Amino acid sequence: MPLSTAGSARSLAFPAIARARGKADPMARFSLAYESRTIVAGKTFLHEGDPAAMFFTITEGTVELVKLLSDGRRAILGFLFRGDIFGFSAEDSYDYNAEAVTPLILRRFPRRQLQRMYSDFPGMESQILKLVSRELAIAQDHMVLLGRKSAHERVASFLLMLFHRIGRRDGWIELPMSRADIADYLGLTTETVSRVFTVLKASGCIVSSCSRVRISDVEALAELAGGVAR
Amino acid sequence: MPLSTAGSARSLAFPAIARARGKADPMARFSLAYESRTIVAGKTFLHEGDPAAMFFTITEGTVELVKLLSDGRRAILGFLFRGDIFGFSAEDSYDYNAEAVTPLILRRFPRRQLQRMYSDFPGMESQILKLVSRELAIAQDHMVLLGRKSAHERVASFLLMLFHRIGRRDGWIELPMSRADIADYLGLTTETVSRVFTVLKASGCIVSSCSRVRISDVEALAELAGGVAR
DNA sequence: CGCCCCGTTGAAGATGATCAAATCTTGTGG
DNA sequence: CCACAAGATTTGATCATCTTCAACGGGGCG
Helix residue ranges per DSSP H, chain B: 9-22, 25-32, 114-120, 124-148, 151-166, 179-186, 190-202, 218-225
The predicted structure's pLDDT at residue B30: 52
d(CA B214, CA B212) in angstroms, rounded, equals: 7
Residues 6 or more apart whose CB falls under 8 angstroms from that of A68 comprise: A48, A74, A75, A97, B228, B229
The predicted structure's pLDDT at residue B14: 44
How do residues A17-38 score in pLDDT, each as one tens digit? 444 444 444 445 555 557 789 9
Residue B67, min C-alpha distance to chain A (Å): 7
Residues 6 or more apart whose CB falls under 8 angstroms from that of B178 comprise: B190
Mean pLDDT, rounded, for B199-216: 94
Confirm if B38 and A199 have CB atoms less than 8 A apart.
Answer: no
Spell out the domain ranges in chain B: 9-135, 149-225
How do residues A39-54 score in pLDDT, each as one tens digit? 999 999 999 999 999 9
CATH number of B149-225: 1.10.10.10
Of B49, B146, B229, the CB nearest to A146: B146
The predicted structure's pLDDT at residue B229: 57
Q: B189 beta carbon < 7 A from strand C?
A: yes
Q: Is the model's pTM score more than 0.85? A: yes
- Whether A7-145 shares its CATH topology with A149-225 is answered no
Mean pLDDT, rounded, for B130-159: 97
Looking at beta carbons, which residues of chain B come within 8 Å of A128? 129
Q: Is B99 helix (H, G, I), strand (E, B) or coil?
A: strand
The predicted structure's pLDDT at residue B16: 44
How do residues B210-219 score in pLDDT, each as one tens digit? 899 999 999 9
CA of A150 to C1' of D18 (A): 10
User: B82: buried, middle or exposed (CB in 10 Å: 19+, 13-18, 0-12)?
Assistant: middle
Q: A198 beta carbon < 7 A from strand C?
A: yes
Q: Which residue of A has its CA nearest to B153?
A: A69
How do residues A156-195 score in pLDDT, each as one tens digit? 999 999 999 999 998 999 999 999 999 999 999 999 999 9
Of B72, B89, B139, the CB nearest to A139: B139
Strand-pair partners of A80: A63
Looking at the structure, give the CATH architecture of the domain made up of residues B9-135: Sandwich (2.60)
d(CA A217, CA A177) in angstroms, rounded, equals: 23
A120 band by pLDDT with thresholds 50, 70 and 90: confident
Mean pLDDT, rounded, for B73-83: 97
The domain A7-145 having CATH identifier 2.60.120.10: the answer here is yes
A-to-B residue pairs, Cβ atoms closer than 8 angstroms = 147
Element (H, E) at B125: helix B124-148
Q: Which nucleotides of D are covered by protein (CB under 7 A)?
A: 8-13, 17-22, 27
- Residue % of chain A over a pLDDT of 70: 84
How do residues A126-149 score in pLDDT, each as one tens digit? 889 999 999 999 999 999 999 999
Q: Which residue of A has its CA nearest to B78?
A: A140
Confirm if A14 and A69 have CB atoms less than 8 A apart.
Answer: no
Query: What are the E-state strand segments in A102-202?
Result: 104-110, 172-174
Confirm if B210 and B173 have CB atoms less than 8 A apart.
Answer: no
| Angle CA A124–A125–A129, to nearest 5 | 120
d(CA B195, CA B201) in angstroms, rounded, equals: 10
**A124-148 helix and B124-148 helix, angle to the nearest 10 degrees:** 20
More confident residue, B4 or A104: A104
| Angle CA B199–B202–B208, to nearest 5 | 85
Please state, rounded to an integer, the average pLDDT across all residues of chain A: 86
Please state, rounded to an integer, the average pLDDT across all residues of chain B: 86
Distance of CA B96 to the CA centre of its chain: 13
More confident residue, B185 or A11: B185
